[in-house]
Structure 1
Amino acid sequence: MAEQNNPLLLTDELMRKFITDGFLILKTDFSKEFHEKLNDQLLNVYEEEGNPGNNLLPRVTELQRVFEHPVITGALTSVLGPDYMLHAHRHGHYNASSVPGEWHKDSYWGYNRMRNHHPWWAMIMYFPQDTPAELGPTGILPGTQNYDSRVFDADELDQEVLASGEVGTFALIHYDIWHRATSNTLGNPRFMLKFEFMRTKAPTKPSWNNVESTWRLPEATSLLFAQHDVMWEETWNWLSGKLGSMAKTATHTSKIVENKLSMLENNYEPIALNAAYELASCGKYGVQSLLTALQHENGNVSRLAAYGLSIAGKDAIPGLILALDDSRTATVIRAIFALSEHRHMAAEAVPALNRLLDHYSVLIRRSVAEALGMIGHPVKEAVDGLIHCLQDEDSQVRFMAGLSICRIGAPAESAVPQLRIALQDKNRYVRAHAAEALRYIGTEQANKALITFLFDSRWCPTTTPANPFYP
């Protein structure tokens, strides 16, 4: 939940580019003196103490002003809504190496989960110094945010875009886009400050400077691997608050549906991905085909079917609930994911999801912990399930429960006693997410627990190994 000082919201054109390309390169207008001071702080901390990790923000206090800048608050509000959360995980990347990094998608703090195509998560990569190509900026592959596989040849990357520019440049990226550190041929210190942000409320209307209601392609895009017309339009509609907008009542011919179903098995993921989204718009016959594909022995086919089912509307929900009893863990996880993306429309699934909270598979329990917060209704049953999750033996179930409670907010007040216990958890993200959950609940009881915790664990930004006490 950012402090927003007249945020400069994105335009329709920039939102269209974010949907297709998966990133935007933007720039703040801080003074040269501001960035010189920021860089001095960074260099001192890194030289004296090493990488401060998750304590980057309190240790380099000038950074807080960066995340109050209206260009940054506006970009984040546009993509994640006004109630977005700055996640506790953050990292200052230092690069002086001529050896480029490996292409990768970031994990979720070491936690593997099924990745959302809808922008529930985003990252900002901020460059506090002039960052020409020779200084090794972040390299980004446009349009790859929704590909699980590496669809590209590492030696032939004409598509790569460098997040290079003058001091104050930053990349706003879909959390799951493929990226890497490029070669720093100058050898001078290069900082990239990475912060993660989470959407806490599903969109009910456009949160950017919206003028046009219908989707169209942006006027200019980066060089992309494929065209995804149905997926892009569905994402635009979702961000506009139109849940299940691509579900159709008209039934397509069996021949058309069967052809798209066979394309789900294509080895080139962009083609198979298009087939999944197109099947979701083929009415009940398309939905049934996707439910069958969810059981496919090929994990990629099953996973892509889940993405199709996640936007298919209410016709998919009964079949997804039945799939929760599947003997294969992966199938159950994908069914949970698809149900979660239907949000309140999947409220009837909550009793079945709660019955999985004692499942032997920790992977299933983690998925349920996230889904309960996404669905959120009926509130009592969802919150009761999340209170159970806060007591799970697995730390990742516990910290996902905290994030889910953030999404429910004040109606989750009955979780406050268990969140108070979670503030003392041995896992840093369980503690951090419990604190955030109390903040989003925001009642007197929750605020009292949060303030007590913050005072007990208060941070002194000037205390270092070289300066433990005075002055």
Structure 2
Amino acid sequence: MSQQPILLNDEQIRSFITNGFLILNADFPEAFHQRLTEQLGTIYAEEGNPGNNLLPRIREVQQLFDHPTITGALTSVLGQDYMLHAHRHGHYNAQPVPGGWHKDSYWGYSRMRNHHPWWAMIMYFPQDTPLELGPTGVMPGTQNYETRTFESDETEGEAYASGKAGTFALIHYDIWHRSTANVRGQSRYMLKFEFMRTQVPQAPSWNNAAATWTPPADLQLPIASHDAMWEDTWNWLSGRAGSLAGTRTPSISEIEELQEQLRDTFEPVQLNAAYELARCGQQGVAALAQALHDERLDVSRLAAYGLSVSGSEAAQVLRSALHDTRPETAAHAAFALGELGASVQPALKELAGLMSHPSEIVRLAVVEAFGLIGEASDEAVSSLIRAMQDPVAQVRFTAGLALAQVGQGAEAAVPYLAEAMEDENRYVRAHAHEALRYIGSEQAKDILIKALFNARWCPTTTPANTFYP
């Protein structure tokens, strides 16, 4: 079997951008999935859910993520240097009633979610999973909605990760999903793993032939179309960030209409208005800047998404908003600056100055912004070192992720990452390991290897098998 990643094609990327998921299947033999299913049954019965220890507990699982179909899909969506996140979970479903619709949190925490695909999940089903066995259901196209835009008992348009043993669902991390009813009552397992992009795309990382955006043939939207947002995501993945900005010359009445739509109560309408205003040059930026300070937080948040794709013209507006007295507005501005990327270098010093802000949501947004920008500036690295010592765990573990995104230029953070490997929070420790790996200096590797050896795991040691063989 060739180990060269099998990259996605244009049509698959279009489908992922719009629908928010792809169903894949790798060419493992049936016996491979059967062995995994049997192991899971034994482990769940004797030890319970292994949680974050799925990989070391079941060594064969790593083969799933080394398969060229899976590495190719992840590379296509997240770039070559994607990260396998430390959080992973085995889902067991034997319930005859469906679960509730939800978006996953970020390990129990909340954050402003990225529309650009910085995060993805893979769900693997080791047994044949027909609809009667309760596969995961997803609502296509809902990955960029913070609110649930459909009734809780509505299933029209629902798609299912249903198929033969070895079915993989690659999903946008933020899509609305649920477990469906397992009417057979037999054991159904699903292994969930999370992945993160570490670099802003500079060029397409999939098997790209077309330069311009067109919707996919298999568009499955039960709710709304978002042409401007989809085009922006395609261009961003192609290494053309900000190319949506200023592509439309609106009339005054068109701007006013879009402003009204931005204050609608239905999020898909608001979302389209935000991205259409991003097309409208200075007039659009001015309208979005006003909305950023709206009394309604949902309007402010959606305005930030519009500003995040409005190009360099939005930078000064966002720099001013960093000093707003409402923490949410400042956090929204920091998020948008992060998504604007390297073009906002003049704002780095102002972002660094917010690391002493009393609000943790502002500090968290600043840390994430430094990670998205990815610049190894003195302001960024010193701010992230400071964040590694923040009293709030989410700020600390996000700083570790951001340092991984900064990479080799964050050498000054290595001693602090070594200290973080003793943190009480599992994700602070895990992200410190990842940051050391991406920094990659000799000092970083020495610290990392020692820590991994000290924490080494024996996958065959269980309460029933302590020493032999």
Asked whether the 8 Å contact 2:133–2:188 carries over to 1, the reply is yes
CA drift of 1:44 comes to: 1.2
Take 1:347 and 1:465, find their aligned partners in 2: how far apart are those partners? 54
Which residue number corresponds to residue 54 of structure 1?
52
Which residue number corresponds to residue 76 of structure 1?
74
Take 1:381 and 1:456, find their aligned partners in 2: how far apart are those partners? 33
Q: 2:417 aligns with which of 406, 416, 419?
A: 419
Deviates more, 1:219-228 or 1:379-388: 219-228
Which residue number corresponds to residue 241 of structure 1?
239
Asked whether the 8 Å contact 1:249–1:284 carries over to 2, the reply is no
CA drift of 1:452 comes to: 0.6
Q: Secondary structure at the match of 2:127?
A: coil
Take 1:378 and 1:394, find their aligned partners in 2: how far apart are those partners? 24
Take 2:227 and 2:365, find their aligned partners in 1: how far apart are those partners? 29
* Partner amino acid, structure 2, of 1:344: A
| 1:258 maps to 2:260 | no
Which residue number corresponds to residue 448 of structure 2?
450
* Partner amino acid, structure 2, of 1:178: W
Deviates more, 1:347-356 or 1:70-79: 347-356
Q: 1:337 aligns with which of 319, 335, 346?
A: 335
Q: Secondary structure at the match of 1:342?
A: helix
Q: Secondary structure at the match of 1:409?
A: helix
CA drift of 1:463 comes to: 1.2
- Unaligned 5+ segments in structure 1 are none
Take 1:188 and 1:88, find their aligned partners in 2: how far apart are those partners? 29
Deviates more, 1:244-253 or 1:227-236: 244-253
Take 1:55 and 1:254, find their aligned partners in 2: how far apart are those partners? 57
Which residue number corresponds to residue 404 of structure 1?
402
Take 1:273 and 1:205, find their aligned partners in 2: how far apart are those partners? 26
* Partner amino acid, structure 2, of 1:279: L
Take 2:301 and 2:21, find their aligned partners in 1: how far apart are those partners? 24
Q: 1:328 aligns with which of 326, 351, 354?
A: 326
Q: 1:206 aligns with which of 204, 213, 236?
A: 204
Asked whether the 8 Å contact 2:388–2:397 carries over to 1, the reply is yes
* Partner amino acid, structure 1, of 2:290: T
CA drift of 1:74 comes to: 0.6
Take 2:215 and 2:317, find their aligned partners in 1: how far apart are those partners? 34
| 1:170 maps to 2:168 | yes
CA drift of 1:60 comes to: 1.0
Take 1:137 and 1:250, find their aligned partners in 2: how far apart are those partners? 43
| 1:38 maps to 2:18 | no
| 1:267 maps to 2:274 | no
Take 1:407 and 1:468, find their aligned partners in 2: how far apart are those partners? 40
Which residue number corresponds to residue 318 of structure 1?
316
* Partner amino acid, structure 2, of 1:222: Q
Which residue number corresponds to residue 394 of structure 1?
392
CA drift of 1:347 comes to: 1.3
Take 1:265 and 1:342, find their aligned partners in 2: how far apart are those partners? 24
Q: Cα gap change, 1:274/1:39 in structure 2, threshold over 3 Å: closer, same or farther?
A: same
Take 1:259 and 1:221, find their aligned partners in 2: how far apart are those partners? 28
Which residue number corresponds to residue 218 of structure 1?
216
CA drift of 1:5 comes to: 2.1
Task: Encode CA deviations 1:376-431: one digit per residue, 9 max, x unaligned.
Answer: 33622211110111111111111000000111111111110100101111110000
Take 1:376 and 1:348, find their aligned partners in 2: how far apart are those partners? 14
- Unaligned 5+ segments in structure 2 are none
Count of matched residue positions in the alignment of Structure 1 and Structure 2: 468
Q: Secondary structure at the match of 1:191?
A: strand
Deviates more, 1:339-348 or 1:127-136: 339-348
Take 1:250 and 1:85, find their aligned partners in 2: how far apart are those partners? 37
* Partner amino acid, structure 2, of 1:232: W
Which residue number corresponds to residue 146 of structure 1?
144
Deviates more, 1:244-253 or 1:30-39: 244-253
Which residue number corresponds to residue 10 of structure 1?
8
Take 2:8 and 2:125, find their aligned partners in 1: how far apart are those partners? 20
Asked whether the 8 Å contact 1:251–1:284 carries over to 2, the reply is no
CA drift of 1:80 comes to: 0.3
Task: Encode CA deviations 1:300-358: one digit per residue, 9 max, x unaligned.
Answer: 11111011001000000011010011111111111111001011111111111111111
Asked whether the 8 Å contact 1:347–1:378 carries over to 2, the reply is no
Asked whether the 8 Å contact 1:347–1:376 carries over to 2, the reply is no
Take 1:9 and 1:182, find their aligned partners in 2: how far apart are those partners? 30
Take 1:287 and 1:66, find their aligned partners in 2: how far apart are those partners? 45
Q: Cα gap change, 1:249/1:284 in structure 2, threshold over 3 Å: closer, same or farther?
A: farther
CA drift of 1:470 comes to: 2.7
* Partner amino acid, structure 1, of 2:13: M
CA drift of 1:83 comes to: 0.5
TM-score of the pair, normalised by structure 2: 0.98
Which residue number corresponds to residue 93 of structure 2?
95
TM-score of the pair, normalised by structure 1: 0.98
Asked whether the 8 Å contact 2:18–2:141 carries over to 1, the reply is yes
Q: 1:368 aligns with which of 336, 356, 366?
A: 366
